[in-house]
A and B are shown apart, each in its own frame.
Chain A
Amino acid sequence: MYVKKLLVGLFCVSTFAAFAKECTPGTLDNTHFLIPGGAGGGWDRTARGVGEALVRSNILDLATYENMSGGGGARAIAHLIETGAPRTLMVNSTPIVVRSLQGVFPQTFRDLTPVASVIGDYSVIAVRSQSRYEDLHGLLSDLGNNPRGIPVAGGSVSGGTDHIFAALIARGAGVDARAVKYIPYDAGGKAMAGLLSGEVAALSSGFGEVVDLVHQGWVRLLCIASSSRLPDLPELPTCKEAGAPEALFVNWRGFFAAPSVPGETICAWQQMLADLQTTREWEEVRERYGWVELHHEGPDFMALLTEQEHTLRRLLNELELIE
């Protein structure tokens, strides 16, 4: 136990050396979680799930939660920056990058302190089990021949994460982003219904959202947007292998703090979340919701964010949705 703390402490020190910050983890008894959305939503479940596991495994004494929805997250972000709350962690996910680029709010993740990501949902391409596409190649060749004839559904708006991913896949067929016939639905569930009804040819979604239907035999996954195959599903090729090398995309969920929060607190939180990864309670929570672990701290997390921003900016430009 002591050795682990020492190692984590050393890790903190070394990773923060680049920022020339002293990383001596402070003590944390309680944390306040700020949720930029309503009760029951994805962010809400993530924050409460993390909080629950932290408390039950005794890493934290008390976790409190506050919902603050509005403006797709704008209110909570503004609130966090303005009040500089020293004990508050805000949960967020990929849309923070997308919406900053689209100008939905003036701030970006750089105006906050990224603490760590905890889970991630890799994008996938799914087709009905009756579909004639056995693998991604089939879909890609049809896309190459007649992009307008292959509608792809997604649970987000035009320019949203599912659309972007569909465009990334289409590049594997040499198809321009704008030529993709993306059909937006306002939720993953409805998009899935659209796929199963035969209205669309394929679905761009997150692994966690479709995995159960795969097990049931209703849909087939053509590829997953991770850099290596998932240990739970080794027969599913990565999109890289399957013919769309640019299609690396994950919808991560993680935590941010106000920019004015001192380094020791940040380090303490990172240690807290790192400790969490190995607990049984966290594993239970993850299994409950079907979450895949994606733990990146500090600079790694920042790197992920920056890279994602770069990809999204490029594609949103191509789609002519931003300047």
Chain B
Amino acid sequence: MFEGVSAGFAAAFSIANIGYLIVGCSAGTLIGMIPGLGPMTAIALMIPLASTLEPASGIILMAAVYYGAIFGGSTSSILINAPGVASTVASSFDGFPLSQQGHAGKALAVAALSSFSGGIIAALMLLVSAPLLANLALSFHSSDYFALIVLGLVSVAAFTGRGELRKALLMTILGLMLSTVGTDQTQGIPRFTLGLVDLIDGISFLLLVMATFAISEALLAIMDPARGRPDQDTKKLTSLKVSKKELKDITPPVLRSSLSGFFVGLLPGAGATIASFLAYGTEQRFANKEARDQFGRGSLRGLAAPESANNAAATGSFVPMLTLGIPGSGTTAIMLGALIAYGIQPGPMLYISEPVVFWAVIVSMWLGNTVLLVLNLPLIPYIARLLTVPRTALLPMILFFSLIGVYLVSFNTFDIFLMTLFAFCAVLLRTCGFPMAPLILGFIMGGMIEENLRRALLLYDDSWSFIWERPSTGTILLLAFAVLVWPGVQSLRERLKAQ
């Protein structure tokens, strides 16, 4: 094994490959920052270039683009509340408030550091346990996935720290409803399409996010000139300083989230998005009261947790792809296609028959994360300066990028109209005090929950017995229950202690 690792190192450290790493990270970051162009598009566009290279170099390039795009997505998520990548939505919950408070530089720095940690820890775990983990991932049945997503949904309670449980619940239900629009996956029946061709494929996630986050935020800013004008103190804005105390404070969440993120990312079907929401919810749930109140208002923990989780999950999703040839997400599916294009057969044989490629990929994950950190940290002050663009230009541009970003995916002007409608509704709801985040959560989870539940029921002939017949399902559901009641228990304990 060690010759493999060292050969992998040697391959990864070649001048050319370092060059590809840098190019990939930069290109990925830039592309990821444009709302609408995420890792999938970025990698797909890189394939023609990558296929002219050696397999190891090509994979390194694509992995770099992938990480870069995720970081780019975080950047736009934090700076303008326009997460173009599903896995960075959770980062906006505390990232955007932070940048609104004038701490954009710090927020980006924390995001970069957390992502880096998540990626490194995950790559380490990947190194040590890839084959074992693949088998674990494989043993998950539909009912287990169902339970896992219920667990994810329960995180909605995390967004309601201030007693607004019903509003959040209602928004989650709304999100679940929106996810049912389109063609039913199991039976192929159209639902809620209102006879429109354009709704047959459902509502795209990107469209919903851009409308309810970016566009509605811009519209609200248009209505209220005082809003969205972060503290103009450029020194504070562009300062990357993160105090020692703050670093110490975010370390446990980062460690926990990296681990949970990695395991969630392992499962084909789950991914960086669920991982980031889970991490956010968990950290909020298990924080003491004082810290918990900070969530949603600019808590560094609230930013660090999803950031480490999504990067760790992204790395975790490489496991089923490399060891089994099963893509866990759209992005890994594209990378898988690229691997096959090189004539490389992913599977447990991979690290026996092509050790150089296997280890080069893993090593490049470390390198990719490092390069990303090193490259992007100095750039952060310049990126943060984006916020000083005058609002008369910035707001129309945000609208433009949001609209065109979605248009570029489908080339269907219907999407522009739909986004306008959603944005208007979002503005109304937000003015009434309804949070948008649970909407997105419900939407993302909706499809998966229904799909897996129906499959489980089909397999068990319409009986719900999988809940107790499969210990894994039962355990995860129990866990979800625990997460739900934990704060109640916690406050009860605190009250008892006070007596």
Contact = CB atoms under 8 A, between A and B. Distances in A.
Contacts of B409: 38-39, 69
B349 A216 contact: yes
Nearest to A184: B186
Contacts of B40: 40
A158 B187 contact: yes
A232 interface: no
A94 B252 CA distance: 52
Contacts of B296: none
A322 B461 CA distance: 24
Contacts of A213: 324-325, 347
Interface string A68-107: 1111101100100000000000000000000000101100
Contact of B185 (A157, A198, A217): A157
B397 to A, nearest CB: 24
A215 B348 CA distance: 11
B269 A190 contact: yes
A103 B139 CA distance: 38
Contacts of A45: 337
Contacts of A39: 41, 44-45, 409
Interface of A: 38-40, 45, 52, 66-72, 74-75, 78, 102, 104-105, 148, 151, 157-160, 181, 183-186, 189-190, 192-194, 196-200, 212-213, 215-218, 287-290, 321
Nearest to A103: B190
Contacts of B451: 186
Nearest to A156: B188
Contacts of A75: 197-198, 412
Contacts of A287: 343
Given A39-B41, A69-B201, A71-B201, A197 B141 contact: yes
Nearest to B185: A186
Given A183-B455, A216-B345, A218-B347, A68 B411 contact: yes
B345 A215 contact: yes
Nearest to B186: A184
B337 A199 contact: no
Contacts of A218: 324, 347
Given A104-B200, A189-B327, A198-B139, 6 more contacts: A40-B41, A70-B201, A75-B197, A157-B183, A186-B185, A192-B326
Contacts of B499: none
20 contacts: A39-B45, A40-B40, A67-B410, A68-B412, A148-B461, A151-B458, A157-B186, A159-B188, A186-B185, A189-B268, A193-B137, A193-B140, A196-B324, A212-B340, A215-B345, A216-B348, A218-B324, A287-B343, A288-B343, A289-B337
B185 A66 contact: no
B326 A193 contact: yes
A243 to B, nearest CB: 26
Interface in B39-55: 40-41, 44-45, 48, 51
Contacts of B410: 38, 67, 69-70
A158 B185 CA distance: 8
A212 B140 contact: no
Given A68-B411, A189-B333, A218-B324, A212 B347 contact: yes
A199 B411 CA distance: 39
A198 B455 CA distance: 14
Q: What are the 5 closest A-B residue pairs judged by CB atoms, nearest first?
A: A216-B347, A157-B188, A71-B197, A40-B44, A288-B341
Contacts of A69: 201, 409-412
A49 B320 CA distance: 27
Given A68-B411, A213-B325, A289 B341 contact: yes
A216 B350 CA distance: 9
A197 B139 contact: yes
Contacts of A183: 455, 458-459
Given A72-B200, A158-B188, A212 B325 contact: yes
